[in-house]
Structure formats: structure tokens, C-alpha cells
A and B are shown apart, each in its own frame.
Chain A
Amino acid sequence: MEFGEHDRGIEVREVYANGVWMKTTEVEAKLDEGNIQEAESSLREGLSLNFEEARSLLGKLEYQRGNIEGALRVFEGIDLQAAIQRLQPPIAEKVTSRRGRSHSEPLHAVSQHAASLVLEAIYLKAKSLQKLGRLSEAARECKSVLDAVERLFYQGIPDVQVDNKLQETVSQAVELLPELWKQAGHYHDAISAYRCALLSQWNLDNDCCTRIQKRFAVLLLYGGVEAGPPSLAVQIDGSYIPKNNLEEAILLLMILMRKFILGKTQWDPSVMEHLTFALSLCRQTPVLAKQLEEIMPGVYHRVDRWNSLALCYSGAGQDDAALNLLRKSLHKHERPNDLIALLLAAKICSEDSHLAAEGVVYAQRTINNAQGIDEHIKSVGLRMLGLCLGMQAKVSSSDFERSRLQSEALKSLGGAIALDCNNTDLIFELGIQYAEHRNLNAALRYAKKFIDVTGGSILKGWRLLAVVLSAQQRFSEAEVVTDAAIDETSKWEQGPLLRLKAKLKLSQSLHMDAIETYRHLLALVQAQRKSFGPLRIFPQFEDDKVNEFEIWHGLANLYSSLSHWKDAEICLGKARELKQYSYEALHTEGILREGRGQIREALAAYIDALLLEPYYVPCKVLIGGVLSNRGLKVLPVARSLLSDALRIDPTNRKAWYYLGIVHRNDGRIADAADCFQAASMLEEFDPIESFSSIH
């Protein structure tokens, strides 16, 4: 309460008007006795004031004394609206537009001093009502200040001639009005008042304008009241008009940021936080990154800035940029143990086999630093460690190393699940890890558990279950699961499931059914492309979308497996129209050529595919296969290609099979037998889609 500020001994107030000073002791004594009239007349006599002037001064005095009710009584005794009426210019002069600094000559000079006196009185009345909690009334009084200014000075006042006192009252009223409406719960009125404050020419100073912009942005962002866009009357040709609250809030916050960057206003950390909230809600973190980059050094600590930028970039899928920043911030001379940075870095690394080893270091450091209140982060550290090790195993150069990394990965994930048994992501990842290690029973258990704990709400759970079942050669069960999943999705998200279903039909040699399913899928994808833009699907499903290329390519494979070379060629042609340089299409073309006995062309296609994608295992295997029967001279080439394929994908059944043939043709019967045995064991575990493709 601001009244408390007054107890600094005996106060002697003075009033000053018309060149005369007067102590208020006597007047105050009269006020205390409740004698407003006498107090008023002593002011009028002492300072040669008229009735309204004396009353205004009296009200002001009461307000300053903290006697708010008294002040209000005094103000209520003045007919302020009548006073404004008297000041108003004759109606006839109101001709042109209401406002705007017109440069025409001032026709009727309203006395700024007289106006200021009345307006201040109304403003004080509004403040009194506010203090008494009568907010709507206060707002209406405050609004009448602004309405009066518009009526009295409808042609504006040249900058140089503005009376300071008048400007102060106007600025205060402009700023107070929206706050009053807001406090009264009248949000729509508050929003109009804010817009009026910002869109009309009130000659507000920079700080005042900044405060209004910020408060308005906060109301728009969090108020929960949707209040149509600003009216069309304020449009300037070609200028941007926000069309909803969130856009308007973001615009205002960006303007505030720019003011700060240009040095026009003081730094306010909350503006950046509001903008962070708004832009991350809208997935516009690259815009946020740009804002962060524009802020001068020194405002944020460099490590904080790097980490925030990394979050922004990774939020937009730009993981490379994010990781580069995190490497800087996690440097031993910076902040090497920041948990969020460590986790993010580990996660990015866990998705790339060539970064996995680096990720292991981050994950390990996370585990070591997850202490005290952050102890719960330990399970995330273990999870990331497991994922990074699993990814590292994929590129390890020796079998020994690989199996060591794989078992460590599972151990780590096991440690994580013991700490955080309800983590659905972790349950899914364990399913994938076990599946990739061909421990299909464990994989099946986790896939089922994932569907249970998510209530079947996440598509990838259904896909994992179906693919694991297919790896166990339980095709009809896999189909039941796929059909159940199709029932649980809406039409536009069924693409990946239909593709799975087509492959399941094919695995059961139900070729016509498979073709039918592909046809269905094609119709779906084409309808999707034609009728809707990107606004239909929630972004989380975007990764799962099946594209038309995949369907034509799948059909080409299907027909070529039936030796329907003509149909296969047509489908392949369609696929290539959609994607010109595709190693997958070259792969299929090779199979087609090989099937028609054009071995040279087939080899050329396989090699082209490998030129596009050097790690593409199926083509390595196919070349190995072709060469394994082309005489002793090329056997070493075949052997090296197949070994290479097995290094990348040790569970590739065909690679083992052809390697067996190479050994046999080369006369190493025992080696050949080993390879054939491996191939026959793996046959049981071939999934119809690779486990790692399920995201």
C-alpha cells in the first residue's frame, strides 16, 4: 500500500496556483471535519480559483493524503463531462478524419491547460475507483479521458506545443485503461484498449510503448481469450496483419526484441522467454534461433546461448548444427557436465553409427553427473548409453567387438528399465534391440508390453509387433496384428500398415492379395496427395508417410518375383519417374535384367546402385551372387564383396548362402558347410521390413 510512504513525521503540503503559494494545513483540517464546501471556498479565495479548479485541487489533495473515498466524493461533486462539453469546439468544425497529425493550421485552439485540469481530475477519479476495487467504473472513467482527448484535439497537437502535464495524463490513462479492463475480467475490452493504445497516435514515449506492447503480448499469449484480428481500418497496404492472438503476440514480442537489439529499450529477459514459449509451441525453433543469434554478446553467457541454440536446431531436426554447438559447450573448459547438453548430444549421436562412439562418452558423463535432485536423469543416461553402444556395434570391425558391444548395450538398457520401468520409449527400444540381435522372444515380449502401456495409441508399436511376428514366420498372426492396427488408425495414417500387409501377403505367396493391397495403398496415397496440403496430418505422422515411389517400387519387386517382367518394367518405370536416382530402383532393375538373362546389364545396374549408396548391402550380395558362379578367377572378388556385406549386416541370410557357394566352388568344403548352416539358421529370422526402419 502506497499510503504507508507518508509517515515521515509531520508533513506540510503546499498548493500553488496563479502565482500564489498556500499551506494546506487549514484546508486539510476542514476536510477532516468533513466540510468540503468550506475547504473548497478557502482554496478559491486563497488562490483565486474557479469552482472546478478548486474541486480538482481538493480531490488531488485528498488522493495524496490517502483518503481515497474522500477524493472520490470530491470528484463526484464535479460534473466533469459538462466541463468537457464546455471545452469542446463547435460541432461544425468537425469535418475531416478524426485523428492523425494533420498539418493544417490549428482551427480552434482548445486551452490545453484547461483541458489538462479536467482530464487529470477524471484520471484521478479513475485511480480512486481502482483503489476501491470498482474496476469497471474505473475503466469507464479512464476511457472517458481518452474519448475526451479525441474529441478535444481531433486534429492533433503539434509535437512542440504539447503541454507536459496534458501529455503525462494522457499517457497514464492510455496505459491504465487496458490494465483496468483486464483486472475487471473484461478481456475483450482490454484487448481493444491495448490495440487503441498502440494503433492511435498518443505520442507515447518509448518506455511507455514498450511496457504496453509487452503487457499486451502477455495477455494475448496466455489470456485464453480469442479476440479476432485487429480491425481492417488500421490496415496499410501490404502490411502484415496478425490473424489470431498467437500471431499478434509473436509479432509484438519480435518487435520488442528488435527494439532491444537496436538499443532503443532496456533488456528484459522475460521477452525472450515469452518468445521461446510461443515459438517452440509452433515448431518454429529456427526462427527462435535467429532471434538468439541477433542478441548481442554479453546478454547471455555464451554456453547458455550455445545450449539454447542447440535445442532450437535439434527441435527443427538440424542435428548436425546442434551437435557442433554442443561440442563447444561441452568442452572441458566450458560446461562439460551440463545435463541437458549431455543428453541432447548423446541422443543425436545415438542416431548415427559414426557418432555412436562419441555418444557413449556423453552418456557415460551424464550417468556420472546425475546426482542429488537430478538423480532421476541417471536412467536416461543409461538408456542413451545402451542406444549408443547398440549403434556402435553396427559398425564394429570384428565379431568379438560387436558381440561385446551388443551385450553391453542390452545390459545398459536393462539398467535403465530397472530404474524407470514405465518409460514407453525405453520399452520400445528394448524391443528393437532384442529384435536386431535376433532374440525374437524377448523382442516379442517388449513389443506386446509397449502396446499394453501405450494403450495401442502409438502406431510404431503395432508395426514392431507385426514385424517381429513376421521374423518368426508367424505370418497369419502378423496379419491379424496389422489388421487390428488398421482398425485403430484413421484412413490417412494407414499407409505404412498397408505396405506391411502387402509384404505379409507376399510372404505367404498370396500374390494376387498383395497386388490388391498395393492397389488400395496407391489409391490412398494418390488421394492424399491430391486433396490435402500439409495441414491435414499431425507432423508426428509425417515420417511415416508412404510415398508413391515406394509403392511402384514394391509392385515392381512383386511382379519380378512372379517373373512377370513386362509388368515389373512398367511399375519400375513409374517409380523412376518419381525418383530418378534411386539405388533401390537400380537394385530392382538389376533383378529384372538378371531374370531375363542379361547378366552384364544386371551387374551394371547393381554397380550403379553401389555408386549411389556404397553401404547398400543387397546389391553387394547380388553382385557376389552373380560372380560366385562366373569361374575361379572372380571368386576372390565375390568373396570380398560378400564379406564386406556381412560386416555391415551380419544377419544377411543370402550373403551367407552365396559365401557358402564361393567357398564350395573354391574347394573349401568345411567353410562352405559353416556358411550354409548360418544361412539356414537365419532363414527363420528374416523380418519383412528391417527393424531399424520402424520409428
Chain B
Amino acid sequence: MSDDTPTPTTSPDGAGAGTDTDTDTDTSEPTHSTSPPSDSPSKTQSAIQSLSSILPSTPPPSLSSAFSLLHDPEVAAQISSLLRHPNSGAGENNLCRWLYDTFQSGDPDLQLVVLRFLPIIAGIYLSRVTIRKPLAGFEAVLLALYAHETTSRSGQPITVSVPDLSHPSVYHESNEPIKNNATELNLAVLSPTLEPHGTVRSTKRARIVGVALELYYSKISQMPVGSKIDFCEFCVVWSGHVYEENDGEERERMGKEGRIPLPWELLTPVLRILGHCIMGAREKKEVFEAAWAACRSLHARSMHDINSRAILATGSLLRLGKMDMEPTQNFDPTKIPNSDVLSI
């Protein structure tokens, strides 16, 4: 592997979050990166080496850092097709072992590479459990992600106390006197206490995958476009509802395979990720379109489940997406007004 080959995909700021379209030429370190710059080249090298023995064709020589591993489209395509193979995911599967080992290496940048493939792993896994195939390989990876999240949260739940505007906050004042004790807040549990799990018990499956998706969401701004699109496509499969264009007329078709139960422990992170893909990644048209389709399918599903909260959540995402598609005005308040008279 030659180190002096110019690599357009390699950027000095290892974890350049969402900078795909950024034509910014300056090379200073972004301050948002939570992970140290890839400080373990040996781990990365050994990960790349063991990966090249698994992939059908040799990875390009440009593959030298965790960042390039995360963003190289050729590597992603090869790994994806291996993961989608009908016999993938078994306990002795090489690729699953590689994903597991790479995640367990503890290197944050390498962990991102594993997370990049979570949509496919979770997607195939959940759709395949019902046909009784050996899936211990996928389960090992999912359990590793779950354990990681359990440790980093110290098992604590994620809660949200919904504010009551009659109490003043950092962003507003209130005329009512301040009550110091027991301000009545509505406490919501977004993700309950995490229990340790050594195996995937079937009733805990959705929870384990859901927590892995919560981890994915927390890193989503660093995920490549392809990964987000993979995720959106699996949402369509999971929902069991596909919209198709047929002779110029759009029809809904119920998907044959892959429809899965969608309890809230799974639906909550799914909706947060889709929310990001619709509202948070505007610059990427493909992501938006994939997420829009996923949202539509999930909306149809929520009607079939007559799940009020899911109807509300998916409905509002769809309306927001629509508002975004038809920008009524392009008012930019930071624009300098045009005038023919310039003055000081």
C-alpha cells in the first residue's frame, strides 16, 4: 500500500461530520469531534488487513485510515453484498466476526465503520428471525453495540421532562412566582433503564436492536449517505407497505416479506433517525427521498396498526417534508440588501 497516493476521500479531520458537501478548504481541526483523531494506526491497519482477506476483491490501496474505510463506496458495496447474502449472519461468519472484533477494538473511528453497517445488519436480522436461520453472528454484533451503549450510559434511562411554560426557563420569563419545590413536569421515558443481556432473548430482540439504533442515531451526523439510505430502505421493508408507480397511477402494495412487529422500543429510534434524514440532512436529496418513502410506508403501517402516536409522528414528518419540498419563499435575513446607492 503506497502512502503517498493522493486520496481525495481522506480528509485530515478524521471525523469530518457531514462535511461531504463542504467545499471548505481550510484544514483546521473541527472542534465538535468527540473522538480523538485516529490514534491507533496499528488497529486500523490490522482491521484493514483482516478485512481484505474477507472481501471478494482486494480493497483499493487508498484504504489506509478508518475514515477512508467509512467512506469508501467500493468497500461499502462489497460488505453490503456479503451481509445481504442469504447465508450471512451465522455464528461462524467471517464478516460478522470482523465487525464484532472491529467494534470491540475500542477505537472510536473504527466503531463508526461498524455502525455504518448497522442498518443492513438490523434490517436483515429482524426480517430473517422468523425463518429460523442461524443468526448468531449478527446477534453477537448487536449485543456488542448494546453492551457498549449500556456501559456508556451506565444503564441509565433517557428521560425527557416536558417543560411547563408557567415556570420561567433560560429562554423565557414568566410572570408567575417561582415555585422551587416540585415543579410539576411531565416526565417521559424515551428509553428505559438498560439491563445487561448476554444473549438475545426473543422478547428482548426489539429492545436490543432499538438500543443499537439509539447508538447509531447519536453518531448519525458522521454516517455516510449510503448508510442512511440503507436504513430508510429497510424501514420500508419492515413496515410491510410499499408505494409503487403503476401506469402513472400510484398504488400501495403490501410487502410480502420482511414485515415485522414495530413496538415503540424500536419505533422511537427509527422515527428519530428518519426525522434526521428528512429535516437534518437537507443537502442530500437522495437521503431525503429515501426517508420520505420510508415515512410514507410507516404512516401506512401506523394506520394499519391504528397507532395514534405513530400516526401523529409520521404524519407530521410527512407534512414537514412536504413544506420543505415546496419552499414558499427563499427569504434570507442575512442577505445584504441590493441598493444602487452605497454609503458609509
Contacts and interface: CB of A to CB of B under 8 A. Distances in A.
Interface of A: 2, 5-6, 11-17, 24, 49, 53, 56-57, 60-61, 63-64, 117, 124, 127, 133-137, 172, 175-176, 179, 183-189, 198-199, 207-208, 211, 213, 218-219, 221-226, 230, 234-244, 246-247, 250-252, 254-255, 258, 269-270, 273-274, 276-277, 279-288, 308, 311-312, 314-315, 322, 339-340, 343-344, 347, 373-377, 379-380, 384, 419-420, 422-425, 452-459, 487-490, 492-493, 532, 534-540
A187 B304 contact: no
Contacts of A222: 275-276, 278-280
A124 B336 CA distance: 8
A237 B204 CA distance: 43
B162 interface: yes
Given A237-B178, A538-B192, A280 B309 contact: yes
B169 A241 contact: yes
Given A251-B169, A422-B240, 17 more contacts: A2-B338, A15-B342, A222-B278, A222-B279, A247-B161, A254-B165, A273-B316, A276-B312, A280-B313, A280-B316, A376-B304, A380-B306, A424-B259, A455-B129, A488-B202, A536-B157, A538-B264
Nearest to A462: B203
8 contacts: A134-B26, A186-B32, A280-B309, A281-B272, A344-B306, A377-B304, A532-B193, A539-B264
Interface of B: 16-19, 22-26, 28, 30-32, 129-130, 157-165, 167-172, 178-180, 183, 185-186, 188-190, 192-193, 195, 197, 201-207, 217-221, 240-241, 250-252, 254-256, 259, 261, 263-265, 268, 271-273, 275-276, 278-280, 300, 303-306, 308-313, 315-317, 319-320, 323, 333-336, 338-344
A312 B336 CA distance: 44
A279 B162 contact: yes
B276 A224 contact: yes
Given A124-B336, A213-B171, A224 B217 contact: yes
Contact of A185 (B17, B206, B263): B17
A635 B142 CA distance: 67
A239 B168 contact: yes
Contact of A424 (B221, B251, B261, B278): B261
B130 A453 contact: yes
Contacts of A340: 303, 311
Given A136-B24, A247-B160, A224 B195 contact: no
B165 A458 contact: no
A193 to B, nearest CB: 12
Contact of A224 (B24, B264, B280, B340): B280
A277 B342 contact: no
Contacts of A250: 160, 162-163
Contacts of A453: 130
Q: Return the 4 tightest CB-CB contacts between A and B, nearest first.
A: A222-B280, A282-B188, A133-B23, A188-B32
A493 B274 CA distance: 30
Interface of A is mostly: helix
B300 A376 contact: yes
B203 A343 contact: no
Nearest to B241: A376
B197 A490 contact: yes
Nearest to B169: A240
B333 A376 contact: no
Contacts of A283: 188-189, 309
A348 B179 CA distance: 39
A218 B268 CA distance: 18
Contact of B160 (A184, A244, A425, A492): A244
Nearest to A49: B344
B54 to A, nearest CB: 28
Contacts of B271: 277, 281
A457 B205 contact: yes
B334 A176 contact: yes
Contact of B188 (A57, A284, A308): A284
B280 A226 contact: no
Contacts of A282: 160, 162, 188, 190
A540 B263 contact: yes
B163 A127 contact: no
Nearest to A254: B165
Contacts of B343: 15-17
A14 B340 contact: yes
Given A282-B190, A285-B308, A455 B202 contact: yes
A213 B165 CA distance: 15
Q: Which of A221, A240, A452 is the most central at the interface, judged by chain B CB atoms within 10 Å of its CB?
A: A240
A100 to B, nearest CB: 15
A252 B171 contact: yes
Nearest to A484: B202
Contacts of A455: 129-130, 202, 205
Contacts of A184: 19, 22, 24, 30
Contacts of A60: 342
A288 B162 CA distance: 11
B24 A133 contact: yes
Contact of B189 (A61, A234, A255, A534): A534
B165 to A, nearest CB: 6
A663 to B, nearest CB: 46
Nearest to A113: B344
A277 B201 CA distance: 31
Nearest to B257: A422
B312 A230 contact: no
B170 A235 contact: yes
Contacts of B179: 238
Contact of A380 (B19, B171, B195, B304): B304
Given A222-B275, A281-B268, A285-B312, A493 B162 contact: no
Contacts of B203: 456-459, 488-490, 493
A613 to B, nearest CB: 29
Nearest to B33: A188
B341 A15 contact: yes
A136 to B, nearest CB: 5
A277 B336 CA distance: 35
A503 B285 CA distance: 58
B164 to A, nearest CB: 8
B28 to A, nearest CB: 7
A188 B206 CA distance: 31
Of the listed residues A117, A222, A287, the one surrounded by the most CB atoms of chain B closer than 10 A to its CB is A222
A2 B129 contact: no
A456 B129 CA distance: 9
Contacts of B28: 136
A312 B333 CA distance: 36
Nearest to B174: A239
Given A239-B169, A239-B178, A540-B264, A188 B201 contact: no
A375 B201 contact: no
A670 to B, nearest CB: 49
